[in-house]
Amino acid sequence: MNAVYLAQDPTLADFGRDPWWLVLIKIVFAFVFAVLATLLGVWFERRVVGYMQVRPGPNQVGPLGLLQTLADGLKMAFKEDILPRAADKVVFFFAPTISVICAVTALSVVPFGPMVSIFGHWTPLQVTDVSVAVLVLLACSSMGIYGIVLGGWASGSTYPLLGGLRSSAQMISYEVAMGLSIVAVFMTAGTMSTSGIVAAQGDATQLTLFGTEIPAPGWYAILLLPSFVIFFIATVGETNRAPFDLPEAESELVAGFMTEYSSLKFALFMLSEYVAMVTMSAVTTTLFLGGWRAPWPITLWEGANSGWWPMLWFFGKVIALVFVFVWLRGTLPRLRYDQFMRFGWKVLLPINLVWILVLSGLRSIEDWDTRGKLIAVGVPAGVLLLVTLLWPSRKPQPRVTVQEQVNNRPHGSFPLPPMDLQIPPSPRTRRVVAEREPANVTAGSESREV
């Protein structure tokens, strides 16, 4: 019986049979994973960004600065908790908890590994699974925005309200692109169960493509490359991470929806952001990177996808995606709000719709292997999408001088400050330059004569 479970992926029939203490262990493990991943994620981000900016980062509190995040949390807990007079006290208090609870709840349907033995009971390394687990993930990611919107509205201030409205607009824009990307996943897998999607991304098999036998990968990040690219961009936008952190843009909105928060409430909002980042990395791993399955060439080892080893591969993939989140924050500048909304509605959404139509057409062809079709079409389409998104869209504009700016000013308008820090020289500087010009002209004429 042990050998059967070691070689078998968990199915929906394997859930709902665990004793209550085993279910409690799974729930506590998911919660502890979210909290520890958040603490280490903050430290990881500060260290990586410090390395990118050629500075050490946190390195004083604990070995390698590992306890710096814990010290920051204790410091926030003892800060003064300020409640604005115009705030709605009840909503203002509960808004941060909504975002944290929704982000942690999404981990309940994420598979961490296959069937394992825990104190003699065979159980899947997953809290629970349902036939519509993907919809549970979408619901949790959508409900998490309510905490930000309600926090901004309940603050009774202008900047938090604007940040909350921005967050709701981002959710509406990028939830559509994210949902269409997941449509491509369960069209290919034939199920909306997360354990079933991981099982569908099995090991590589041989397929015949144009008369040639080639190994076909099972990860949807390769088979559905356009969906993977769009989904990951949508997750960055929905988690309010840079370069899409417009709801908390400090250059425009002070701190956005968190402006009036302090002490533990502010810490809960920070916690929800990092929990959401880790959760969406886990969801991306489950839907597109094979879940807990080992990557090649580790799959050459027969026991790579059995026992407790798959949990190590799962955590490795999550850490790699968190690094991409941090990389984006340390590399790309923040977009303008109109650019951000235009990108979601006019770029990601049309490309996603066209890709789903192409995918439906490929699945209707009966005399060609499905994986071969996806590799032959999906990989070039994904590469073309990446090139299109990364290609510069505008030519560099010629530099406008101060005099041209003054001449192009509408008649009767007030004088404007010069653009691009082109500050005109002061009268004293112009006088000094005028005094030196005759000497420069004389020296130039003598050099030409020589």
55-79 average pLDDT score: 87
Contact criterion met (CB below 8 Å) for 134 and 192: yes
Backbone angles phi, psi at 101, to 5 degrees: -65, -40
Residue 25 confidence (pLDDT) = 92
Residue 343 confidence (pLDDT) = 86
Would the pLDDT of 5 be above 50? no
Could you tell me which of 147, 339, 160 has the C-alpha nearest to residue 260? 160
Confidence of residue 6 (pLDDT cuts 50, 70, 90): very low
Q: d(Cα 217, Cα 207) in Å, to the nearest integer?
A: 10
Q: d(Cα 148, Cα 430) in Å, to the nearest integer?
A: 54
User: What's the mean per-residue pLDDT of the chain?
Assistant: 80
Backbone angles phi, psi at 284, to 5 degrees: -60, -40
Quote the tokens at residue 301: 């080892």
Residue 232 confidence (pLDDT) = 92
Residue 7 confidence (pLDDT) = 44
DSSP 318-351: HHHHHHHHHHHHHHSPPPPHHHHHHHIIIIIHHH
Cβ contacts of 150 within 8 Å, gap of 6 or more: 91, 94, 95, 98, 164
> pLDDT for 325-378, tens place per residue?
999 988 888 888 888 888 888 888 888 888 888 888 777 765 555 565 666 666
224-247 average pLDDT score: 85
- Biggest CA-to-CA distance, the chain: 101
Beta-sheet strands, E only, within 69-138: 115-118, 121-124
Q: d(Cα 268, Cα 43) in Å, to the nearest integer?
A: 17
Residue 447 confidence (pLDDT) = 44
Residue 153 confidence (pLDDT) = 85
pTM (whole model) above 0.75 = yes
> pLDDT for 97-109, tens place per residue?
888 888 889 999 9
Matching residue, tokens 């990040």: 221
Would the pLDDT of 187 be above 60? yes
